[in-house]
Amino acid sequence: MIYLDSNATTPLDPRVLAAMLPWFSEKFGNAASRPHRFGAEARDAVDAARAEAARVIGADPEEIVWTSGATESDNLALKGVAAAAEGRKHLVTVATEHRAVLDPCERLEGSGFQLSVLGVARDGSLRLDQLERVITDRTLLVSVMHANNETGVLHPLEDIGKLCRAKGAYFHTDATQSYGKEPIDVTSAGIDLLSASAHKFCGPKGVGLLYIRKRGPRVRCEQLLHGGGQERGYRSGTLNVPGIVGFGAAAAICMKERGEEQRRIRDLRDRLERALRSGLDGVETNGTPERRLAGTTNLAFEGIDADELMAQLPELALSSSAACTSARMQPSYVLGAMGHSDERIRGSLRMSIGRFTTEEEISTAALALTGEIRRQRNTPRS
Protein backbone atom coordinates (compact mmCIF):
# COMPACT_ATOMS: atom_id res chain seq x y z
CA MET A 1 0.00 0.00 0.00
CA ILE A 2 1.18 3.50 -0.86
CA TYR A 3 -0.42 6.28 1.17
CA LEU A 4 -0.97 9.48 -0.80
CA ASP A 5 -3.83 10.92 1.23
CA SER A 6 -2.05 13.04 3.86
CA ASN A 7 -4.60 15.85 3.58
CA ALA A 8 -7.25 13.46 4.92
CA THR A 9 -5.10 12.37 7.83
CA THR A 10 -1.50 11.46 8.61
CA PRO A 11 0.05 8.55 10.49
CA LEU A 12 1.15 9.28 14.04
CA ASP A 13 4.88 10.05 14.20
CA PRO A 14 6.47 7.33 16.44
CA ARG A 15 8.21 10.10 18.43
CA VAL A 16 4.79 11.62 19.15
CA LEU A 17 3.43 8.25 20.24
CA ALA A 18 6.39 7.82 22.61
CA ALA A 19 5.71 11.24 24.16
CA MET A 20 2.02 10.37 24.61
CA LEU A 21 2.32 6.87 26.09
CA PRO A 22 3.04 7.70 29.76
CA TRP A 23 -0.04 9.93 29.81
CA PHE A 24 -2.24 6.92 29.06
CA SER A 25 -0.86 4.89 31.93
CA GLU A 26 1.04 5.97 35.05
CA LYS A 27 0.48 9.71 34.45
CA PHE A 28 -3.30 9.69 34.51
CA GLY A 29 -3.98 12.89 36.46
CA ASN A 30 -6.72 15.39 35.67
CA ALA A 31 -5.10 18.68 34.63
CA ALA A 32 -7.79 20.53 36.60
CA SER A 33 -7.07 18.73 39.89
CA ARG A 34 -5.00 21.34 41.63
CA PRO A 35 -4.01 20.06 45.06
CA HIS A 36 -1.97 16.94 44.25
CA ARG A 37 1.00 15.91 42.18
CA PHE A 38 -1.06 13.85 39.67
CA GLY A 39 -2.98 16.96 38.66
CA ALA A 40 0.06 19.22 38.78
CA GLU A 41 2.16 17.09 36.43
CA ALA A 42 -0.74 16.83 33.96
CA ARG A 43 -1.23 20.60 34.10
CA ASP A 44 2.49 21.21 33.53
CA ALA A 45 2.45 18.90 30.50
CA VAL A 46 -0.62 20.66 29.08
CA ASP A 47 1.03 24.05 29.61
CA ALA A 48 4.23 22.92 27.89
CA ALA A 49 2.17 21.70 24.91
CA ARG A 50 0.25 24.97 24.92
CA ALA A 51 3.51 26.92 24.68
CA GLU A 52 4.71 24.75 21.75
CA ALA A 53 1.37 25.10 19.96
CA ALA A 54 1.34 28.88 20.42
CA ARG A 55 4.90 29.26 19.14
CA VAL A 56 3.93 27.80 15.72
CA ILE A 57 1.68 30.81 15.05
CA GLY A 58 3.39 33.51 17.12
CA ALA A 59 0.59 33.51 19.72
CA ASP A 60 0.56 33.89 23.49
CA PRO A 61 -0.05 30.49 25.17
CA GLU A 62 -3.04 31.99 26.97
CA GLU A 63 -4.73 32.53 23.61
CA ILE A 64 -4.86 28.78 22.84
CA VAL A 65 -8.05 26.82 23.58
CA TRP A 66 -7.82 23.02 23.27
CA THR A 67 -10.65 21.33 21.37
CA SER A 68 -11.47 17.91 19.90
CA GLY A 69 -10.27 18.93 16.42
CA ALA A 70 -10.71 21.50 13.70
CA THR A 71 -14.42 20.80 13.23
CA GLU A 72 -15.05 21.83 16.81
CA SER A 73 -12.64 24.78 16.52
CA ASP A 74 -14.45 26.10 13.43
CA ASN A 75 -17.83 25.67 15.14
CA LEU A 76 -16.61 27.43 18.29
CA ALA A 77 -15.12 30.31 16.30
CA LEU A 78 -18.21 30.91 14.18
CA LYS A 79 -21.05 30.13 16.58
CA GLY A 80 -19.18 31.49 19.61
CA VAL A 81 -18.44 34.85 18.01
CA ALA A 82 -21.99 35.01 16.60
CA ALA A 83 -23.47 34.33 20.04
CA ALA A 84 -21.42 37.16 21.59
CA ALA A 85 -22.22 39.64 18.80
CA GLU A 86 -23.81 42.96 19.58
CA GLY A 87 -25.07 44.81 16.54
CA ARG A 88 -23.02 43.33 13.72
CA LYS A 89 -24.98 40.60 11.94
CA HIS A 90 -23.04 39.92 8.73
CA LEU A 91 -20.70 36.99 8.05
CA VAL A 92 -18.40 36.52 5.05
CA THR A 93 -16.87 33.27 3.85
CA VAL A 94 -15.76 31.58 0.62
CA ALA A 95 -17.40 28.83 -1.46
CA THR A 96 -14.28 26.60 -1.25
CA GLU A 97 -14.15 26.44 2.56
CA HIS A 98 -14.33 23.11 4.42
CA ARG A 99 -17.82 21.94 5.40
CA ALA A 100 -16.86 22.56 9.05
CA VAL A 101 -16.97 26.28 8.18
CA LEU A 102 -19.73 26.36 5.55
CA ASP A 103 -22.28 24.37 7.56
CA PRO A 104 -22.08 26.49 10.74
CA CYS A 105 -22.26 29.62 8.54
CA GLU A 106 -25.41 28.30 6.90
CA ARG A 107 -26.91 27.47 10.30
CA LEU A 108 -26.21 31.03 11.45
CA GLU A 109 -27.81 32.37 8.29
CA GLY A 110 -30.93 30.42 9.27
CA SER A 111 -30.92 32.12 12.67
CA GLY A 112 -30.87 35.71 11.49
CA PHE A 113 -27.34 36.44 10.27
CA GLN A 114 -26.70 37.76 6.79
CA LEU A 115 -24.19 35.54 4.96
CA SER A 116 -22.01 36.40 1.96
CA VAL A 117 -20.29 33.44 0.29
CA LEU A 118 -17.62 34.64 -2.13
CA GLY A 119 -16.69 32.75 -5.28
CA VAL A 120 -13.13 32.08 -6.41
CA ALA A 121 -11.25 32.43 -9.68
CA ARG A 122 -10.61 29.41 -11.90
CA ASP A 123 -7.23 28.88 -10.23
CA GLY A 124 -8.88 28.73 -6.79
CA SER A 125 -7.67 32.16 -5.70
CA LEU A 126 -9.80 34.71 -3.90
CA ARG A 127 -10.56 38.04 -5.58
CA LEU A 128 -9.42 40.54 -2.95
CA ASP A 129 -11.28 43.42 -4.61
CA GLN A 130 -14.51 41.42 -4.19
CA LEU A 131 -13.69 40.70 -0.57
CA GLU A 132 -12.98 44.38 0.06
CA ARG A 133 -16.33 45.37 -1.47
CA VAL A 134 -18.37 42.86 0.53
CA ILE A 135 -16.96 43.72 4.01
CA THR A 136 -18.89 46.59 5.61
CA ASP A 137 -19.04 48.17 9.05
CA ARG A 138 -21.86 45.68 9.77
CA THR A 139 -19.57 42.67 9.13
CA LEU A 140 -18.94 40.68 12.30
CA LEU A 141 -16.53 38.06 11.03
CA VAL A 142 -14.72 36.98 7.86
CA SER A 143 -13.73 33.29 7.65
CA VAL A 144 -11.19 32.38 4.97
CA MET A 145 -9.07 29.23 5.17
CA HIS A 146 -5.29 29.42 4.77
CA ALA A 147 -4.76 26.34 2.57
CA ASN A 148 -7.52 24.50 0.74
CA ASN A 149 -7.69 20.80 1.60
CA GLU A 150 -8.55 19.65 -1.93
CA THR A 151 -6.22 21.80 -4.06
CA GLY A 152 -3.62 23.08 -1.57
CA VAL A 153 -4.23 26.64 -2.82
CA LEU A 154 -3.02 29.19 -0.24
CA HIS A 155 -4.92 32.40 0.46
CA PRO A 156 -2.97 35.58 1.35
CA LEU A 157 -3.61 35.93 5.09
CA GLU A 158 -1.95 39.33 5.51
CA ASP A 159 -3.98 40.96 2.74
CA ILE A 160 -7.23 39.51 4.11
CA GLY A 161 -6.31 40.53 7.67
CA LYS A 162 -5.74 44.13 6.55
CA LEU A 163 -9.14 44.32 4.85
CA CYS A 164 -10.84 42.97 8.00
CA ARG A 165 -8.99 45.38 10.31
CA ALA A 166 -9.95 48.35 8.15
CA LYS A 167 -13.65 47.58 8.77
CA GLY A 168 -13.40 46.30 12.33
CA ALA A 169 -14.46 42.75 11.38
CA TYR A 170 -12.93 39.70 13.08
CA PHE A 171 -10.76 37.46 10.87
CA HIS A 172 -11.03 33.69 11.40
CA THR A 173 -8.84 31.33 9.39
CA ASP A 174 -9.15 27.55 9.20
CA ALA A 175 -5.42 26.78 9.05
CA THR A 176 -5.86 23.02 9.49
CA GLN A 177 -3.87 22.15 6.37
CA SER A 178 -1.07 24.71 6.79
CA TYR A 179 -0.45 24.76 10.56
CA GLY A 180 3.07 23.46 11.21
CA LYS A 181 3.86 23.47 7.50
CA GLU A 182 3.62 27.08 6.29
CA PRO A 183 4.85 30.07 8.30
CA ILE A 184 1.95 31.84 10.07
CA ASP A 185 2.14 34.84 12.38
CA VAL A 186 -1.21 35.78 13.89
CA THR A 187 -0.06 39.31 14.65
CA SER A 188 1.43 40.33 11.32
CA ALA A 189 -1.44 38.62 9.48
CA GLY A 190 -4.10 40.29 11.65
CA ILE A 191 -5.70 36.95 12.54
CA ASP A 192 -8.21 36.99 15.42
CA LEU A 193 -9.19 33.30 15.44
CA LEU A 194 -7.38 30.26 13.97
CA SER A 195 -8.29 26.57 13.81
CA ALA A 196 -5.84 23.64 13.69
CA SER A 197 -5.95 19.85 14.21
CA ALA A 198 -3.14 17.51 15.28
CA HIS A 199 -3.93 14.59 12.97
CA LYS A 200 -3.05 16.65 9.88
CA PHE A 201 0.60 17.03 10.98
CA CYS A 202 1.46 13.56 12.32
CA GLY A 203 -0.20 14.06 15.69
CA PRO A 204 -3.13 12.11 17.14
CA LYS A 205 -6.75 12.29 16.02
CA GLY A 206 -9.34 13.96 18.23
CA VAL A 207 -7.33 16.98 19.40
CA GLY A 208 -7.17 20.47 17.96
CA LEU A 209 -7.02 24.07 18.99
CA LEU A 210 -8.67 27.39 18.49
CA TYR A 211 -6.51 30.48 18.81
CA ILE A 212 -8.61 33.34 20.20
CA ARG A 213 -6.96 36.79 20.21
CA LYS A 214 -6.79 38.31 23.69
CA ARG A 215 -5.85 41.90 22.97
CA GLY A 216 -5.76 44.33 20.06
CA PRO A 217 -8.72 43.55 19.81
CA ARG A 218 -9.95 41.15 22.49
CA VAL A 219 -12.24 38.71 20.67
CA ARG A 220 -15.66 38.27 22.22
CA CYS A 221 -16.57 34.59 21.91
CA GLU A 222 -19.16 32.57 23.85
CA GLN A 223 -18.55 28.96 24.84
CA LEU A 224 -20.50 26.14 23.18
CA LEU A 225 -19.91 23.64 26.02
CA HIS A 226 -20.95 24.69 29.49
CA GLY A 227 -19.65 22.92 32.57
CA GLY A 228 -16.47 22.93 34.62
CA GLY A 229 -15.15 26.13 33.04
CA GLN A 230 -11.87 24.69 31.75
CA GLU A 231 -9.91 26.61 29.09
CA ARG A 232 -10.76 30.02 30.62
CA GLY A 233 -14.43 29.16 30.21
CA TYR A 234 -14.21 28.81 26.42
CA ARG A 235 -14.43 25.02 26.46
CA SER A 236 -15.57 23.02 29.45
CA GLY A 237 -14.63 19.37 29.79
CA THR A 238 -11.74 17.38 31.26
CA LEU A 239 -8.70 17.93 29.06
CA ASN A 240 -7.49 15.15 26.78
CA VAL A 241 -4.01 15.13 28.31
CA PRO A 242 -2.40 12.41 26.10
CA GLY A 243 -3.85 14.06 22.98
CA ILE A 244 -2.69 17.51 24.00
CA VAL A 245 0.81 16.21 24.82
CA GLY A 246 0.75 14.63 21.34
CA PHE A 247 -0.31 17.90 19.74
CA GLY A 248 2.60 19.68 21.45
CA ALA A 249 5.13 17.01 20.48
CA ALA A 250 3.94 16.99 16.86
CA ALA A 251 4.06 20.80 16.72
CA ALA A 252 7.59 20.86 18.15
CA ILE A 253 8.79 18.37 15.50
CA CYS A 254 7.26 20.50 12.74
CA MET A 255 8.97 23.65 14.01
CA LYS A 256 12.32 21.91 14.17
CA GLU A 257 12.15 20.08 10.86
CA ARG A 258 9.72 21.85 8.59
CA GLY A 259 12.26 23.80 6.50
CA GLU A 260 13.98 20.68 5.29
CA GLU A 261 10.85 18.55 5.36
CA GLN A 262 8.76 20.90 3.23
CA ARG A 263 11.57 21.11 0.65
CA ARG A 264 11.73 17.31 0.46
CA ILE A 265 7.94 16.98 0.19
CA ARG A 266 7.74 19.67 -2.50
CA ASP A 267 10.43 17.87 -4.47
CA LEU A 268 8.46 14.60 -4.28
CA ARG A 269 5.26 16.37 -5.36
CA ASP A 270 7.03 17.99 -8.31
CA ARG A 271 8.52 14.62 -9.32
CA LEU A 272 5.08 13.01 -9.24
CA GLU A 273 3.58 15.77 -11.40
CA ARG A 274 6.49 15.63 -13.86
CA ALA A 275 6.24 11.86 -14.19
CA LEU A 276 2.48 11.96 -14.83
CA ARG A 277 2.72 14.84 -17.30
CA SER A 278 5.58 13.31 -19.24
CA GLY A 279 3.85 9.92 -19.40
CA LEU A 280 0.37 11.17 -20.30
CA ASP A 281 -1.47 13.74 -22.41
CA GLY A 282 -4.53 15.55 -21.14
CA VAL A 283 -3.33 16.29 -17.58
CA GLU A 284 -4.40 19.61 -16.04
CA THR A 285 -3.65 21.03 -12.59
CA ASN A 286 -6.65 22.08 -10.49
CA GLY A 287 -5.66 25.21 -8.58
CA THR A 288 -2.77 27.56 -9.05
CA PRO A 289 0.53 25.67 -9.31
CA GLU A 290 2.35 28.58 -7.64
CA ARG A 291 0.84 29.47 -4.27
CA ARG A 292 -0.11 26.10 -2.81
CA LEU A 293 0.91 23.62 -0.12
CA ALA A 294 4.16 21.75 -0.82
CA GLY A 295 2.64 18.26 -0.56
CA THR A 296 -0.64 18.66 -2.45
CA THR A 297 -1.44 18.09 -6.10
CA ASN A 298 -4.90 17.89 -7.64
CA LEU A 299 -4.84 16.75 -11.25
CA ALA A 300 -7.57 16.34 -13.85
CA PHE A 301 -7.07 13.43 -16.27
CA GLU A 302 -9.03 13.91 -19.46
CA GLY A 303 -11.53 11.14 -20.22
CA ILE A 304 -10.98 9.34 -16.90
CA ASP A 305 -13.34 8.46 -14.06
CA ALA A 306 -11.28 8.94 -10.90
CA ASP A 307 -13.41 6.54 -8.83
CA GLU A 308 -12.97 3.82 -11.44
CA LEU A 309 -9.24 4.57 -11.52
CA MET A 310 -8.99 4.18 -7.74
CA ALA A 311 -11.00 0.95 -7.85
CA GLN A 312 -8.46 -0.49 -10.29
CA LEU A 313 -5.51 0.64 -8.15
CA PRO A 314 -6.33 -0.63 -4.65
CA GLU A 315 -2.66 -0.48 -3.70
CA LEU A 316 -2.76 3.34 -3.89
CA ALA A 317 -4.53 5.40 -1.21
CA LEU A 318 -5.72 8.46 -3.14
CA SER A 319 -8.70 10.76 -2.99
CA SER A 320 -11.18 11.44 -5.74
CA SER A 321 -12.91 14.75 -5.46
CA ALA A 322 -16.17 13.05 -4.67
CA ALA A 323 -14.65 11.07 -1.81
CA CYS A 324 -13.63 14.27 -0.03
CA THR A 325 -17.21 14.73 1.11
CA SER A 326 -17.79 10.99 0.99
CA ALA A 327 -20.69 11.12 3.43
CA ARG A 328 -22.49 12.94 0.64
CA MET A 329 -21.04 11.43 -2.57
CA GLN A 330 -21.39 14.37 -4.88
CA PRO A 331 -18.90 15.96 -7.26
CA SER A 332 -16.48 18.23 -5.40
CA TYR A 333 -18.10 21.59 -4.65
CA VAL A 334 -14.58 23.03 -4.34
CA LEU A 335 -13.69 22.23 -7.95
CA GLY A 336 -17.24 23.23 -8.93
CA ALA A 337 -16.77 26.66 -7.37
CA MET A 338 -13.60 27.04 -9.46
CA GLY A 339 -15.78 26.71 -12.55
CA HIS A 340 -14.79 23.20 -13.61
CA SER A 341 -17.24 20.94 -15.45
CA ASP A 342 -18.66 17.78 -13.85
CA GLU A 343 -16.72 15.84 -16.48
CA ARG A 344 -13.41 17.37 -15.39
CA ILE A 345 -14.29 16.95 -11.71
CA ARG A 346 -15.04 13.26 -12.28
CA GLY A 347 -11.55 12.85 -13.74
CA SER A 348 -9.79 14.67 -10.89
CA LEU A 349 -7.58 13.08 -8.25
CA ARG A 350 -6.03 14.60 -5.17
CA MET A 351 -2.65 13.23 -4.15
CA SER A 352 -1.18 14.48 -0.90
CA ILE A 353 2.32 13.67 0.27
CA GLY A 354 3.55 13.57 3.85
CA ARG A 355 6.46 13.01 6.20
CA PHE A 356 6.74 9.29 5.54
CA THR A 357 6.30 9.27 1.74
CA THR A 358 9.40 7.94 -0.04
CA GLU A 359 10.91 8.61 -3.45
CA GLU A 360 10.36 4.97 -4.37
CA GLU A 361 6.68 5.21 -3.52
CA ILE A 362 6.34 8.24 -5.77
CA SER A 363 7.94 6.41 -8.72
CA THR A 364 5.81 3.32 -8.15
CA ALA A 365 2.61 5.36 -7.86
CA ALA A 366 3.41 7.39 -10.99
CA LEU A 367 4.05 4.21 -12.97
CA ALA A 368 0.85 2.53 -11.77
CA LEU A 369 -1.26 5.61 -12.48
CA THR A 370 0.23 6.14 -15.94
CA GLY A 371 -0.31 2.49 -16.89
CA GLU A 372 -3.89 2.35 -15.64
CA ILE A 373 -4.88 5.69 -17.20
CA ARG A 374 -3.47 4.59 -20.58
CA ARG A 375 -5.33 1.30 -20.29
CA GLN A 376 -8.64 3.00 -19.44
CA ARG A 377 -8.27 5.47 -22.28
CA ASN A 378 -7.73 2.61 -24.72
CA THR A 379 -10.75 0.70 -23.44
CA PRO A 380 -13.98 2.13 -24.85
CA ARG A 381 -16.50 2.68 -22.07
CA SER A 382 -19.44 0.31 -22.18
Ligand X SMILES: *Cc1c(COP(=O)(O)O)cnc(C)c1O
- Which residues in this chain contact ligand X in the complex, by CB under 6 A? 69-71, 98, 100, 145, 149, 174, 176-177, 197, 200, 208
* Residue tagged active-site, from 105, 164, 221, 324: 324
**Shortest distance in whole angstroms from residue 173 CB to ligand X:** 10
CA-to-CA separations, 204 to 129, 197, 198, 378, in angstroms, rounded: 39, 9, 6, 43
β-sheet with 283-285: strand ranges across: 283-285, 296-301, 348-352, 319-320
- With 0-12 CB in 10 A as exposed, 13-18 as middle and 19+ as buried, what is 288? middle
Distance CA 143, CA 343 (A): 30
**Shortest distance in whole angstroms from residue 151 CB to ligand X:** 11
**Shortest distance in whole angstroms from residue 69 CB to ligand X:** 3
Stretch (H or E) spanning 343: helix 342-346
Residue 171: φ, ψ to 5°: -115, 115
Residue nearest to ligand X (CB): 69
**Shortest distance in whole angstroms from residue 101 CB to ligand X:** 7
- With 0-12 CB in 10 A as exposed, 13-18 as middle and 19+ as buried, what is 223? buried
CA-to-CA separations, 356 to 10, 85, 183, 225, in angstroms, rounded: 9, 44, 21, 37
To the query of whether residue 324 is one of the catalytic residues in this protein, the response is yes
**Shortest distance in whole angstroms from residue 237 CB to ligand X:** 16
**Cβ–Cβ under 8 Å, residues 142 and 126:** no
**Can the peptide bond before residue 217 be classed as cis, meaning omega within 30 degrees of 0?**
yes
Query: Which residues are tagged catalytic?
Result: 324
